[in-house]
Amino acid sequence: MRILGVETSCDETAICLIEASGEFGPAFRFSVLGDTLASQATLHAQYGGVFPNLAKREHLKNLPVLYEAVQKQVGGVKPDAIAVTVGPGLEPCLWTGINFVQRLADESKAPVVGVDHMEGHIMLSMMAHGKLSDFEFPVLALLISGGHTELVVMRSFGEYEVVGRTRDDAAGEAFDKVARLLSLPYPGGPEISRIARAARSAGGPRLYNLPRPMLHENNLDFSFSGLKTAVRRQVEDKSVTDDERAALAREFEDAVADVLVGKAMRAIDEYGINTLVVGGGVSANDYIRERLKTALENEGNIAKLLVPPPELATDNALMIALAGYFHAQKKEFTDPSSLTADGNLALG
Ligand code: KG4
Ligand code: ZN
């Protein structure tokens, strides 16, 4: 089955056509036939974050161009089904993808699947080399993106139980806000990570001592806004040197990593988890990946770690096509005219 994925939930417009076969499990195989992505990151950088109406306008402009580009890559072959992100995300942006897919479906008569963006992140992280990685349920998904920080237990494909979540800012949001405080450009994650790495390899002393919010509380929830405030206190009304900025970035990244690792390990223990799947934009962070890997090794590899290829950790359309196939195969189609954007769509 050829399935087209369309993603417009935030500031990436992306379209991907895959060929997929087999039941979702060991027999599942896929290959990417055509793939395009237009990132608006530089456009939003001047606002220090995503500006929804501008993002919507860009999606509207990009969608037909990207679709044409994919059609060219695949020699005009049409999809057998179309998957589109319906949430969570910015509603004006989600609607651009939905309306575009409604028109495509109308022309092609291909059936349509509405996809949860976060399910897409999970599905993509479970793949390697055109198939599902070897792993065992129960799975714990640690979802860390610009809008979400969640721990999700999966006992089988498509079955989700959210067991932990952030009470305020998401991990990626904290990276972006702290980057702004440190006068680093949007998106902040890669920038903070870059200067934190330099500070670590320079090996200087630990200059700051930021909190590890909720780390020792007996629950699986997160909170990152206090961490951001603690960074603000260090920089407001002061001029910070480059070395101080790098030291703060390092301490911030350490604090986020400590909390993510601590909570993930607690959930692994509590739910008898066999596989830890990490997904969402922040999972591109090498330091956080490394810390998770070391924590699992120190516990005798109690769970297998699955992470996405770094270039596919942030938003893309392959993840939507993959989740779309999962539902298409179960014939979970939606009448295109009843597709609705849900900015707060939640798993489970
Ligand atoms: O999944 P994603 O592309 O979009 C959402 O669904 O939100 O995640 C974007 C987030 C941004 O907050 C960005 O700063 C963060 O992922 N991010 C990173 C890194 N790369 C992207 N955070 C930390 N380290 C990175 N290397
Ligand atoms: Zn995302």
Q: What is the pLDDT of residues 76-109, one digit of tens each?
A: 999 999 999 999 999 999 999 999 999 999 999 9
CATH code for residues 135-309: 3.30.420.40
| Strand duo 29-39 + 149-156: pairing | unpaired
**Tens digits of per-residue pLDDT, 133-157?**
999 999 999 999 999 999 999 999 9
Query: Torsions phi, psi of 175, nearest 5?
Result: -60, -45
Ligand 1 touching residue 314 (CB < 6 A) = yes
Looking at this protein, which amino acid is placed at residue 51? F
88: CA distance to ligand 2 center in Å? 9
Question: What average pLDDT does range 62-80 have in this prediction?
Answer: 98
Binned at pLDDT 50, 70 and 90, residue 45 comes out as confident
Cα of 318 from ligand 2 centre, angstroms: 12
> Please, which residues have CB within 8 angstroms of residue 46's CB and are 6 or more apart in sequence?
none
User: pLDDT tens-digit profile of 2-12?
Assistant: 999 999 999 99
Residue closest by Cα to atom 3 of ligand 1? 314
Q: Give the predicted TM-score (pTM) of the model.
A: 0.97
- In this structure, of 203-207, 244-248, 295-299, the range with the lowest mean pLDDT score is 203-207
Ligand 1 site-directed mutation target among 314, 315, 344, most atoms within 8 Å of CB: 314
Q: Could you give the residue range(s) of every CATH 3.30.420.40 domain in the chain?
A: 2-131+312-338, 135-309
Residue whose C-alpha is closest to residue 37's, from 56, 1, 63, 19: 63
Encoded tokens for 316: 């893309």
Has residue 204 got a pLDDT over 90?
no
pLDDT of residue 343: 97
Q: Architecture of 2-131+312-338 per CATH?
A: 2-Layer Sandwich (3.30)
Two structure tokens written together for 220: 């699986």
Q: Is the CB of 254 under 6 A from ligand 1?
A: no
Ligand 1: centre distance to CA 31 (Å): 25
188 neighbors 224 (Cβ within 8 angstroms) = no
Does residue 169 have its Cβ closer than 6 Å to ligand 1? no
Query: Is 176:226 a contact under the CB 8 Å cutoff?
Result: no
176 Cβ below 6 A of ligand 1: yes
Taking only the tens place, the pLDDT of each residue in 157-180 is: 999 999 999 999 999 999 999 999
Residue 49: band (very low, low, confident or very high) from pLDDT cuts 50, 70, 90:
confident
